[in-house]
């Protein structure tokens, strides 16, 4: 298929490369042009503007958040203005439920199709086409996009016709991961202060009750205290927790663990930890327990 791909960060670059490898015709756009280059070398065409990327049947966006997506989609020369009638916008970044709802309406008015299809997975999974895709929108549009999802992910979960639900699920999933990091952090502070090696505790957990990639990945990062370079940086983690809490606010759902996570991120940012991997929130319990001197980050 002919695809426009907008947003070539750590995740987007891997996803666009997967599409190319699967034989799709991909035109890539990124605000800073140097990120386009590696993809041009493996066969992508270059879009000089968002509008250029919109000449394809399907435009995929994989941007850093609401603000970026709003600009790319809603500007005078943005996707809604430039995409043909009947064309499809697949929004794959993690954005607010509210913006997803807004885009669904705006595309409908412009007689375009819209799919929300956020993904679970870190950059290395994007590069290996092993993402999980959570997709919602009109059934025929979902079917039409399935070859694209197959090229980027290991499995697609169709979630019905309402795009906002895909956003809700994505935010809930990221919450589960962040909560796992916090919980691991507290447990490691506890056993660590009791004299137990963190690595062996993580090994025990993942060999028994929690044989899941999330526990292996973040357990290892926490045991080794390896928070740089960031696979997923603190401000991105914080953004996702804030989007969750905003959605929870409008649904009137108290979420005490989510509040705690938000405070952890706020503290890291206030103390200069923006460049760390988001798993660094799991280190704060150890600091509070006096296991390590509190860091000026």
Please list the active-site residues.
Answer: 170
Measured from the CB atom, the residue of 46 and 186 that comes closer to a copy of itself is 186
CA–CA separation, 286 and 110 (whole Å): 52
Q: Does 285 bind a copy of itself (CB under 8 A)?
A: yes
Three-state secondary-structure class, residue 202:
helix
Q: Does 86 bind a copy of itself (CB under 8 A)?
A: no
Cα-only R_g, the chain: 20
Q: Does 193 bind a copy of itself (CB under 8 A)?
A: yes
Q: Does 225 bind a copy of itself (CB under 8 A)?
A: no
How many other C-beta atoms are found inside a 10 Å radius of the C-beta of residue 141?
A: 18
Contact track, a copy of itself, 88-127, x by CB under 8 A: ---------x----------------------x-------
Query: Under rule CB under 8 A, how many of the chain's residues touch a copy of itself?
Result: 78
- Going by C-alpha positions, the residue among 156, 95, 135 that lies closest to residue 103 is 95
34-53: which residues touch a copy of itself (CB under 8 A)?
A: none
CA–CA separation, 35 and 29 (whole Å): 9
* Angle made by CA atoms 133, 139, 155, in degrees to the nearest 5: 20
The shares of helix, strand and coil residues in the chain, as percent rounded to the nearest 5, are: 55, 15, 30
Q: Does 234 bind a copy of itself (CB under 8 A)?
A: no
Q: Does 196 bind a copy of itself (CB under 8 A)?
A: yes
Measured from the CB atom, the residue of 62 and 284 that comes closer to a copy of itself is 284
Least gap, CB of 31 to a copy of itself (angstroms)? 24
Q: Does 269 bind a copy of itself (CB under 8 A)?
A: yes
Among the residue ranges 59-67, 68-76, 80-88, 191-199, the one whose residues contact a copy of itself (CB under 8 A)? 191-199
CA–CA separation, 24 and 147 (whole Å): 9
139-168: which residues touch a copy of itself (CB under 8 A)?
A: 155, 157, 159, 162, 164-165, 168
Strand order in the sheet with 25-29: 45-46, 25-29, 2-6, 58-61, 88-91, 113-116
Query: Which one of residues 47, 79, 177, 230 is an interface residue with a copy of itself (CB under 8 A)?
Result: 177
Three-state secondary-structure class, residue 161:
coil
Q: Does 213 bind a copy of itself (CB under 8 A)?
A: yes
How many other C-beta atoms are found inside a 10 Å radius of the C-beta of residue 179?
A: 16
C-beta separation of 79 from 103 below 8 A: no
Q: Does 176 bind a copy of itself (CB under 8 A)?
A: yes
DSSP structural state of residue 27: E
Q: Does 169 bind a copy of itself (CB under 8 A)?
A: yes
Its sign, for the CA torsion 216, 222, 227, 233, is positive
Q: Does 182 bind a copy of itself (CB under 8 A)?
A: yes
Q: Does 128 bind a copy of itself (CB under 8 A)?
A: no
Least gap, CB of 248 to a copy of itself (angstroms)? 6
Is the preceding omega at residue 229 within 30 degrees of 0, hence cis? yes
247-266: which residues touch a copy of itself (CB under 8 A)?
A: 247-249, 251-260, 262-264, 266
Least gap, CB of 200 to a copy of itself (angstroms)? 8
């Amino acid at each position: 298929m002919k695809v426009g791909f907008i947003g070539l960060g750590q995740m987007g670059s891997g996803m666009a490369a997967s599409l190319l490898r699967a034989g799709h015709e991909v035109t890539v756009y990124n605000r800073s042009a140097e990120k386009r280059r590696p993809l041009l070398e493996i066969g992508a065409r270059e879009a000089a503007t968002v509008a250029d990327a919109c000449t394809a049947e399907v435009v995929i966006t994989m941007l850093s958040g609401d603000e970026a997506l709003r600009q790319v989609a809603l500007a005078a020369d943005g996707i809604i203005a430039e995409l043909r009638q009947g064309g499809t916008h697949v929004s794959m970044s993690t954005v607010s439920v509210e913006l997803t709802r807004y885009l669904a309406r705006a595309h409908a008015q412009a007689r375009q199709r819209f799919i929300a299809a956020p993904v679970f997975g870190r950059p290395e999974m994007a590069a290996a086409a092993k993402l999980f895709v959570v997709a919602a929108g009109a059934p025929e549009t979902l079917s039409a996009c399935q070859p694209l999802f197959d090229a980027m992910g290991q499995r697609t979960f169709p979630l019905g016709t309402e795009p906002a639900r895909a956003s809700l699920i994505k935010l809930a999933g990221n919450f589960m991961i962040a909560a796992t990091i916090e919980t691991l952090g507290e447990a490691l502070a506890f056993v660590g202060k009791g004299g137990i090696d963190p690595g062996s505790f993580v090994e025990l957990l993942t060999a028994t009750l929690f044989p899941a990639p999330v526990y292996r990945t973040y357990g290892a990062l926490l045991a080794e205290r390896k928070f740089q370079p960031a696979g997923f940086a603190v401000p991105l983690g914080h953004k996702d927790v804030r989007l969750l809490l905003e959605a929870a606010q409008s649904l009137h759902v108290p979420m005490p663990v989510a509040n705690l996570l938000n405070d952890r991120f706020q503290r890291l940012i206030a103390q200069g930890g923006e460049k760390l991997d988001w798993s660094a929130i799991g280190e704060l319990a150890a600091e509070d327990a006096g296991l390590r001197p509190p860091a000026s980050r």
